[in-house]
Chain A
């Protein structure tokens, strides 16, 4: 009937908006629900070092003698054999201790990570730690974070860059890391425009709880990049994926 037809077909703008919103929300939620295991590939490269026990507890073996004894008193009761060792040391280097002379020089910060063969081109943010002591990761899964407290690319040690594998809107840029293979070229662009070229040498999948943080965040040794994202099964209980995927790259020969 002409009277009912337009009514049936007509959605009030509010109802239409509500429907659209519901649809979007449900689709978004389905992305969340459907994420099962993320695409995975076999690990390669040297095995992850065994989690170390961390630095030895400082001072554990030493009496907490906080300071030097006052002069004059030390001579009499110093244990035999401990007094007056000959000091035969080369003259130490001496430096200007002024504030200006002590200001630290840091290399240019990395601003972009490229891996053309993986279709990866991600802007980088300099990040620190969250309130609960975890590495900070940019909320936006289209960006990645460089751990600014650790080495910068180009410095000795391990430069750590991490990004979300996905967010509630869909896959993140670092999902592409799953395609990394031995020899995959990776480039860092720095704030001064300079570029550093690397090649992938290893990939490791580790349970998040066993992430070898003291190796990953090592500030010494060979220059290397550690690209980190998530992988494994979605754990509803933990509200996160179970594993970290770590891609290691070293300076291109």
Chain B
């Protein structure tokens, strides 16, 4: 029953996410601590999470997420046991050794299924770089036992061909989008549609998780706020609208021209 193949895999992020991550996206606060959230995205199994031998997240249920933990930078051993198993005797359901956590990083450690349905751990790096005023960031992570997918917003694909365990990051105008997930290149909706509130100044991280075969596909959402930028200024003198000087000049000229026109008509009348 709780016999899940022990797999020691921590996925390295690759692909589209890397470009965004190459910018200095980490370490909002310096000081050797990393911000680590833990997501449980393996369907059907309540677990206890042990970090370096200490039980850190007990009774952890699928589809739930921890608040961020502040961890000193270092290397960590993470082991996930079925709820109540004794780590002295039981085999972990999933484990990863020597997970390197750099200081200042913002990570999400996700227990999820690989494409073939095997439980695995992935350490995702969250993009916490500052957004422009009015912008929101959407990160989509494929953490499901499912083939490549497209993510659509309002019916049109915004992310195409995303595979497990990869991610894609978009910065876009803040607002609510109706999102769904389809098998790549098809119209076959496998998740959603769901209304996502993409709040300004926030990285909304959406995980597609579960298993296509078992019919347990779903979305999990993590948000990281406080990434907002400020407007550059407050142009509150309407005299101050950018075109006002031009408008004024044009109006003056139009006024003068109108006066001349009217005048000339009068003159013509006089003469006539």
Contact = CB atoms under 8 A, between A and B. Distances in A.
Given A58-B25, A87-B52, A149 B99 contact: no
B105 A65 contact: yes
A213 B231 contact: yes
A137 interface: yes
A-side binding surface: helix, strand, loop or mixed? Answer: loop
A22 B133 contact: no
B169 interface: no
Contact of A229 (B237, B251, B252, B269): B237
B90 interface: no
B132 interface: yes
A110 B66 CA distance: 34
A53 interface: no
Contact of A211 (B10, B27, B66, B233): B233
Contacts, number: 331
Interface stretch (A66-74, A114-122, A185-193): A66-74
Interface stretch (B53-61, B147-155, B156-164): B53-61
A71 B246 CA distance: 65
B75 A82 contact: yes
What interface size band does chain A fall in?
35 or more
A230 B107 CA distance: 44
Interface string B247-269: 11001101110110110011001
Interface in B160-179: 174
Interface stretch (A26-34, A39-47, A197-205): A26-34
Interface string A213-253: 11011010000000011100010101111001000000000
A137 B63 contact: no
Interface stretch (B81-89, B182-190, B219-227): B219-227
Interface in B66-83: 66-77
Nearest to A73: B98
Contact of B243 (A69, A83, A239): A239
Contacts of A128: 134, 174, 200
B39 to A, nearest CB: 7
Contact of B26 (A59, A85, A134, A147): A59
A37 to B, nearest CB: 12
A1 interface: no
Contacts of B222: 97
Contact of A92 (B69, B218, B255): B69
A66 B74 contact: no
A211 B232 CA distance: 9
Nearest to A103: B197
Interface in A171-191: 172, 174
Contacts of A124: none
Given A72-B8, A74-B100, A29 B251 contact: yes
